[in-house]
Every structure is written in structure tokens, then in C-alpha cells.
Amino acid sequence: MLNETSTSAQSGSVPAQARIIDLAEHGITADKIGENARWVLTRLEESGFEAYAVGGCVRDLLLGRKPKDFDIVTNARPEEVKRLFRFSRIIGRRFRIVHVIFHGEVIEVTTFRGGDADQIARGSEGMITRDNVFGRIDEDVFRRDFGCNALYYHPGREQIVDFVDGVADINARRLHMIGDVTTRFAEDPVRMLRAARFAAKLDFKPTAEVERGVRQCRDLLTQVAPARLYDETIKLLQGGQGVASLFWLQRLDLLEPLFPELDQALKKQPEGIERALIDGVLQATDNRVANNLPVNPAFLLAGLFWRRLCAAREHWLVQRVPPDDALILAADEVLAQAARNVMIPRRLADIIRSIWALQSELEHHCGQTGQRWRVVNADNHTSTMPPENLTEAKWFRAAVDFLCLRAQAGELSESVCSFWRQYAPERGAQDEPVVAALTAEDFGKGKPRRRNRRRSRRRG
């Protein structure tokens, strides 16, 4: 644990009010920063600019975790950064950043943000709509969200720069907002979802001010673009701490602005089959992430809304709608409700429909007579093998996994799962993924960029 009483000092161009933490205290050597990130930092400094590793990577290193990626902040403007790195591009309009591209890695480089509020474009509720106001490091720190994410690391000096007692927050496992809580949430309501994500991911406890601010500002999430809410929701539930993330979404009253029907159902019946199924799907996803296996949002979302689908389908069946049509109408209704606030890409919705549709097929073609399994085919003949067209269905494996989670939750007999496991054994770490990961194009994020044929170890 770091010493929280380090004295302030001035090093290089760092303002005197910053607390400088040396290697002897924090223990992070320069080689802990990724090779590509170090190269970008060195290139910026050799060109006369300030540059630091910042944010989550510094926090994770202090916690003894391996950072997923490395972000860099500098006083170089986006155009200046782009000129330094041949394989780079400027992205974003709300706040422009530079992606420096390497083989298999992208280093994100941002410019210090300034504190001139008059130059920042805001919406009617205070949401920042354009934020290309640049400044100094001592201004940039107060534009960041939580203290634990506001630490700057200089690999050349092997020092951490701490303006806001971020180290104290990490030592206390505390999620503390920089600045006025309601103002910061109004600037970017997605910060409320980030609070839930960091609480789950890091096992940090939000301060009382953060919890009160979230409950006060949560309705502002309706102003966020549905596509952005989708991205943030998937980060929450599919980041490896899905069970804990759902806990924090409910504790902070954030599930209602995302999925109101689901929130009402879980409040009405906090325990039971629906909750058991959702927890099972989230835990299965967490397990796959822990084993470095691909996961697909369709499987997760199919579990979140399954019981809504069953209720909607029953409504149409009571109206004497044929079963297949009832399923189609119910799926349309449930997915439309879910997508009101959080966008669900069409490709994803199609996979969800397939998993749902296969559930009734799996149940229909499986029965039990005494202790002997029988499979009822379309011509009413029985056999010991399921119909070939069913086992070869594209999402058969995922549907069987989902069926078994339903059985685990108590919705079906475990014997139904046992039967279908003969044709779709559980996957191990060395097997193909249950559900293949979708491509960026599948999620509506544009066509893949053309590859440059030239090969080199470093592209930046």
C-alpha cells in the first residue's frame, strides 16, 4: 500500500500543488508500461511535448492488476500528434482524440483538457456536447471523473503525479467523484454507469455523495444516444463482473432507465426463476471472460428478456394466435421495448430470436417414457437421435447452453438438459466458443478498414 502522506514537490513541468510519488513508494517500474505505449511517450517527449500514461492503466498497476490497455495524455494538439505518427488517425467530434495504430494494439492519445467553462458547448441540462478546449495538466485532472482514474505516470522519471488524492482513494477502495457530483453527472450522464462498472470491477464502494448524485440524476440517461447506452451496458454486463454489475445497477437505481420492464419485474419478484436465470447467464458470461473465451451479447440479452418473452407469448396464445406466430409477435414486442432506451443491433436481435425459437423446438423434440429417452419427430415417429435439421441449426449449441441454464434455474427438468448435452457437450477452454464473437460490422460500426500490405513490427 502506498504512503498517502507523500510531500508535494515540483518535478519537470508539473505544478507545485501536485503530490509527486516516487518509485520507492509506488513500485511501478517503467517496463510495466506496454512497449508500444512507452514508444509513443518517448516520441512525444523527444519532440518537445509533455506526455504521461494516465487513468485506468495507472490505477490497475497500483492494484497489482494487468492493464487492459494504456492511455496517454499530452500537451500536444491532436494535429501535432497525428503528424508525429504515420499510422494514426483523429477520431471523435465531442472530444477529439488520436489513435496511434500498431499491429494488434491501438494507443489512445488525448490532449490535456482545459477548464474554461465558457468555451465548452453544453446542452439544456448541462450535458457537454463539444469539448475541444485544451489546457494544462493541472486543468485536465479536474475534468476527469473519479479520483482513482486521475493519476499520471511518467515512465522516464518513474513518478506518479497525484492532484486529487487518487492514491488515498485506491488505498481506501473508494469511488470518489472529482468536483460537484450532480454537475459532473449532468456533464456526462454515462459517468453514472461508469460508477456502477468501477464499483463492480474494482470492488470499490461509491461515496455517499456519489450514490445520492446518481439517484438524483439518473433520469438524465434518457438524453444519451441509445447506441452509446448499448456500448456502456455491454461493458457493464459483459466485462467479467456481470453478477456484481447487476447488483450495483439495482442498488444505484440505474436499471430502470435502461430496461424499465426488467427493473419492475425484478423489484416485484427479487427471487425466483427469472432472477435465477439472469444470474446464471451472467455467471456463465463471467466464467467465459475469466477463461479468456469469446462471449456474445446475444446470449446474455436472450437471458435478460426470456421471461418477458414467455409472458408476451402467453398473451398471444390466449388470443388464439398460432404458437409460431405468437413467438414472433412476442419477440417483436419484447425487443422493441428493450430497444427504447438501449439500442439492440439488428444482427444481435436476429441471434436472440434464433436462441429463443430453438427453445420450444428443443423441448418439443424431447420427451421421456419411463427411464428411456425418446425423440418425437415431425411424422410422430420416435427415434434415439434428434432431427438432423435441429442439431445443425446455426445457434443450436448456444440454444442448448441456454436451455441448460433454464433447467439450472428450475424452469425445466435437469433431464432435458442432460439429453441435449449428448449432442452439445459443455465447452472447455480449448474448445470453440459457444457463441462466436460478432464483428464490428455486425454491430453497425462500419466496414472494416483495408489492411495495409506493408508489414513491420511497429507501425506507429
| Separation CA 398–CA 396 (nearest Å) | 6
The active-site residue out of 140, 145, 169, 401 is 145
End-to-end Cα distance, the chain = 35
One-letter amino acid of 349 = A
Classify the C-alpha dihedral 114-118-120-123 as positive or negative: positive
* Residues 37 and 459 sit within 8 Å (Cβ to Cβ): no
* Residue of 171, 118, 169 whose CA lies nearest to 145: 169
How many residues make up the chain in this entry? 460
Residues 6+ apart with CB under 8 A from 90: 78, 79, 82, 96, 97, 98
**Residue 69 known to be catalytic:** yes
Q: In what order do the strands lie in the sheet with 97-102?
A: 19-21, 159-162, 151-154, 51-54, 71-74, 105-111, 97-102, 88-91
Q: Is 455 helix (H, G, I), strand (E, B) or coil?
A: coil
* Residue of 374, 377, 364, 369 whose CA lies nearest to 412: 364
In sequence order, what E strands does 284-426 have? 367-369, 372-376, 382-383
Report strand pairing: 71-74 vs 105-111.
parallel
**Residue 71 known to be catalytic:** yes
**Residue 140 known to be catalytic:** no
* Residue of 273, 274, 214, 221 whose CA lies nearest to 248: 214
* Three-point CA angle 366, 367, 368, nearest 5°: 140
Give me the residue label for grid cell 494538439. 77
Catalytic residue set? 69, 71, 145
